[in-house]
Amino acid sequence: MIAFFIKRLAQAVLVMFVISLISFSIQDNLGDPLQEMVGQSVSEAERQALRDELGLNDPFLVQYGRFVKNALQGDLGTSYFFKEPALEVILNKLPATLELVFGASLIIIGLSVPLGVYSAINPHSWFSKVVMGISIVGISVPVFLTAIGLIYFFSIEMGLMPSYGRGDTVEVLGLETSLLTADGWSHLVLPAVSLASIMLPLFIRLIRAEMMEVLQSEYVKFAWAKGLMTRRIYFLHALKNTMLPVITVGGVQIGTMVAYTILTETVFQWPGMGFLFLEAVNRVDTPLIVAYLIVVGAIFVITNTIVDLIYGLVNPTVKLAGKK
């Protein structure tokens, strides 16, 4: 177990190094931050002075070296716009984004397993066909369209749900959360549904396909031949094997979902990291952009490590390195 973590840590360091190099090297191509920071009235000489002060005229490697040195001390630069440490700005918005991802994950897990299993067991029933049909639509419609559609129907036409913002929040252990207020939940529903709208059909189809394959396997036939209860065959023998590839894909998709939050948060004005990132791009706030990319990269690495741990628990043929 310890060896697994050390190996994982080494990999994570390498991954983070690559992410930082890439995100740092694209910042020169995002536009001129000076343009946004100072107005038209500032003279060219003053601009140059400011550039020197910010270190923007140094060679790339010098700039990058300085960045890495600071980053190792937890300093990812100072946001040009907020005039605050970029990491702090991002982390303040992180809980909101995680709430959104959490809400969407709840929807995905809660619906994809029963629907996928049902439609694998009864592939010819009309309900399965309807589920499969809707899932194709869900995969095909882009998130921002789903989001706008949801706002139109549920907020504007029916007036059931608020159309933007995060609602009331409460502070728990120094973190603001909307998960503990009814108003917070009502604000969360629509964004979470629209964020789930792409992944949910994908998971239903994945679970269905895997389950159908597993149901054809010899060990499931053998389970029938042993005279076991139908329930046990479907939900223990078949489902446990079905979940193995689903867990793997799920781990990657959680990371992807964090990326999708950019769209959802923008449409719903959800005050999370994604919304912040888009604003940062508009303002050419390069330190903030770089910090965002690094934080998202770290989330990817962490979730994948957790998923690997879970996978090791479910699949006995996988031994985590060093575990005996």
Partner 1 sequence: MALLEVKNLEVSFGLRSGAVKALRNISFSLERGERLGLVGESGAGKSVLGFSILNLISKPGRISGGEIWFDGKNLADLSAKELRDVRGNRISMIFQDPMMTLNPVLTIGQQMIECLKAHRKISTEDARTIAIQKLKQVYIPSPETRIDQYPHELSGGMRQRIVIAIGLLMDPDIIIADEPTTALDVTIQAEIMELMVELCDRNNVALILITHDLGVVSQVTQKAIVMYAGRIIEQGPTKEIINDAQHPYTQGLMNALPQMAIPGQRLNQIRGAMPPLQRIPVGCAFNPRCDYVMDLCTKQLPGYTASGNCKVACHMVADMKRKAEQSTDEV
Helix, strand, or coil here: 162? coil
Give 145 or 244: the residue with its C-beta nearer to partner 1: 244
Residue from 25, 125, 140, 230 that binds partner 1 (CB under 8 A)? 230
Stretch that binds partner 1, among 65-73, 178-186, 228-236, 268-276 (CB under 8 A): 228-236
Per CB under 8 A, 40 contacts partner 1: no
Contact pick of 45, 72, 156, 225 for partner 1 (by CB under 8 A): 225
Nearer to partner 1, 38 or 229 (CB): 229
Q: What share of the chain is helix, strand, coil (3-state, %, to 5)?
A: 75, 0, 20
Which of 18, 226, 282, 323 binds partner 1 (CB under 8 A)? It is 226
Give me the amino acid identity at 247.
I
User: Is 140 an interacting residue with respect to partner 1 (CB under 8 A)?
Assistant: no
Residue 219 as a binder of partner 1 (CB under 8 A): the answer is: yes
DSSP per position, 221-289: HHHHHTT--HHHIIIIIIHHHHHHHHHHHHHHHHHHHHHHHHHHHHHHT--SHHHHHHHHHHTT-HHHH
**259 vs 192: CA distance, rounded Å:** 14
| Residue 59 binds to partner 1 (criterion: CB under 8 A) | no
DSSP character for 5? H
Q: What is the footprint of partner 1 within residues 303-322 (CB under 8 A)?
A: 314-317
Closest to 253 (Cα-Cα) out of 30, 127, 104: 104
* Stated length of the chain: 324
- Residues in contact with partner 1, total (CB under 8 A)? 24
Q: Which stretch binds partner 1 (CB under 8 A): 45-53, 80-88, 161-169, 223-231?
A: 223-231
Return the range that interacts with partner 1 (CB under 8 A); candidates 36-44, 159-167, 218-226, 280-288: 218-226
228 binds partner 1 (CB under 8 A): yes
The β-bridge partners of 175 are: 172
- Return the residue of 125, 232, 321, 322 that touches partner 1, per CB under 8 A: 232
Looking at 36-44, 87-95, 214-222, 282-290, which segment touches partner 1 (CB under 8 A)? 214-222
- Judged by beta carbon, residue 266 or residue 315, the one nearer partner 1 is 315
Distance of CA 307 to the CA centre of its chain: 14
Q: Is 43 in the site for partner 1 (CB under 8 A)?
A: no
- What distance lies between CA 246 and its chain's CA centroid? 16
Q: Is 244 in the site for partner 1 (CB under 8 A)?
A: yes
Interface pick for partner 1 out of 22, 236, 252, 321 (rule CB under 8 A): 236
Strand, helix or coil for residue 208: helix
Q: If residue 174 lies in a helix (H) or strand (E), which one and from where to where?
A: none
Strand partners, 176: 171
User: What is the 8-class DSSP label of residue 170?
Assistant: E
Cβ–Cβ < 8 Å for 250, 105? no
First to last CA, the chain: 9
Q: Closer CB to partner 1, residue 93 or residue 237?
A: 237
Shorter beta-carbon distance to partner 1: residue 92 or 315: 315
Q: Which residues bind partner 1 (CB under 8 A)?
A: 216-219, 221-230, 232, 236-237, 240-241, 244, 314-317
